[in-house]
Structure 1
């Protein structure tokens, strides 16, 4: 899936007012997700994304995306996940969770099915609930 298509789908699913908001939200979710996933898995995700979105993931993996926040493989739950996304996207935590679900749905469609299954398996149950229903149910 191409960058513009992904951002357009995020904008539509999350009902964001403009493409800039969709871009900011997508980057916030990808960065935070990449901090939570094991580095090897996050890099596999990056390999299947458009170049500019892959860069967001790679920066999160090596810890250069957000000084003071750990690199990938960090263990945290839904509260920290929502807080980091909200801070990065400039929104509240409820909106961050709604928007994260939209980004994860688009990501699910963009990645190879086996990779999304591995990603779902690496997430704790509370974050996994944001995934499209078939992924969340398949990994309980």
Structure 2
């Protein structure tokens, strides 16, 4: 999947009014995931999208991946980065994760799910049609 298709899918599923908003949602979700999980996922994503993961992982002030955070903290971070309300950020993050699943192979999404606590995994893997929390 190329960058334009990826962002277009996020925009459509999250029902965002612009590609810029889809880029912001993608960046916010992936940067926050990068704080939580190993970033090997970046290699399977379009280069421009994978950069959101690599940028956080290589930032000098970035702690190691594996930062423990509950789903409230995760959503607060996504919302802050995306400039969205928390409920909207939840829907956008689910949309991004759904598109990541379609853009990757080899059980990457399963490994992401396993790296998350149950509440966060349940939130992110509800899909774009999941209820807004």
Q: Identify the TM-score tier after normalising by the shorter chain.
A: 0.7 to 0.9
Residues 1:125 and 2:118 aligned together: yes
Which residue does the alignment assign to 1:31? 31
Report the Cα offset of residue 131 of structure 1.
Answer: 1.2
Whether the aligned pair in 2 keeps the contact of 1:31 and 1:57 (CA below 8 Å) is: yes
Q: C-alpha deviations, 1:26-62, integer Å up to 9, x for none?
A: 000000011111x3xx1x2001011111111011112
2:92 to 83, 93, 99: 99
Which residue does the alignment assign to 1:63? 59
- Between Structure 1 and Structure 2, how many residues are aligned? 126
SS of the equivalent of 2:107 reads helix
Instruction: Give the alignment's Cα RMSD to 1 decimal.
Output: 1.5
Which residue does the alignment assign to 2:104? 111
Report the Cα offset of residue 113 of structure 1.
Answer: 4.1
Distance in 2 (alpha carbons) for counterparts of 1:109 and 1:50: 12
Q: C-alpha deviations, 1:62-119, integer Å up to 9, x for none?
A: 235xx5x634221111011100000010011111001101111001111114111111
Which residue does the alignment assign to 1:137? none
Which residue does the alignment assign to 2:50? 54
TM-score, with length taken from structure 1: 0.84
In structure 2, stretches of 5+ residues that fail to align are: 128-133
Distance in 2 (alpha carbons) for counterparts of 1:70 and 1:93: 24
TM-score, with length taken from structure 2: 0.88
SS of the equivalent of 2:54 reads helix
Distance in 1 (alpha carbons) for counterparts of 2:100 and 2:115: 15
Distance in 2 (alpha carbons) for counterparts of 1:62 and 1:80: 22
